[in-house]
Amino acid sequence: MSQYNILFLCTHNSARSVLGEALASTHPSGKFVGYSAGSTPGTSINPFARELAIEMGYDASKLRSKSWDEFGLPDAPKMDFIITVCDNAAGEVCPYWPGKPASAHWGFPDPSQVQGTDEDKRSAFREVMLGLKKRIDLLAGASLESLDAKSLKEIHTK
């Protein structure tokens, strides 16, 4: 079975994109290797995103904020799909991606902006995680060999 590399992008690479990386990498289909990056990465992963990623069984040692420039380098893994998960990153000029991967924008509100109790914040992160999971599940069920950018953009929750 082929595995497909998916790069999830968000501005700071500390929350939504990290959840995408963890979800893709731990997906039960085994079809994906998830990566994440940001245009202006933060200094750390949001603690609620870290908590959820670890709950999914994702290796905590892989959790770090990184620049999307890393994935444009010659020795970087070749991406099959690039997915932006925040509106800011979707509007930015991205680096050149070797291999011309299919790309799409799957926008989600920033859970790190939620005010309130820790439970309110956890709930916001879980909501984003569940939305990403639904889309990754749909992607896993698609004919990935022939999936183009238009089809990837049309993957949405039903």
Burial 92-127 (b: 16+ CB within 10 A, else e): eebeebeeebbbbbbebebbbebeeeeeebeebbee
Residues 6+ apart with CB under 8 A from 90: 84, 105, 107
Catalytic residue among 18, 86, 144, 152: 86
Task: Report whether 94 contacts 116 (CB < 8 A).
Answer: no
| Catalytic annotation present for 86 | yes
Active site residue 98: no
| Given the residues 6, 7, 10, 37, the one annotated as active site | 10
Point out the catalytic residue in the list 56, 94, 114, 140: 94
DSSP 116-156: S-HHHHHHHHHHHHHHHHHHHHHHHHS-GGG--HHHHHT--
25 carries an active-site annotation:
no
**3-state percent helix, strand, coil for the chain, nearest multiple of 5:** 40, 15, 45
| Measured distance CA(45)–CA(142) in Å, rounded | 31
Known catalytic residues are 10, 86, 94
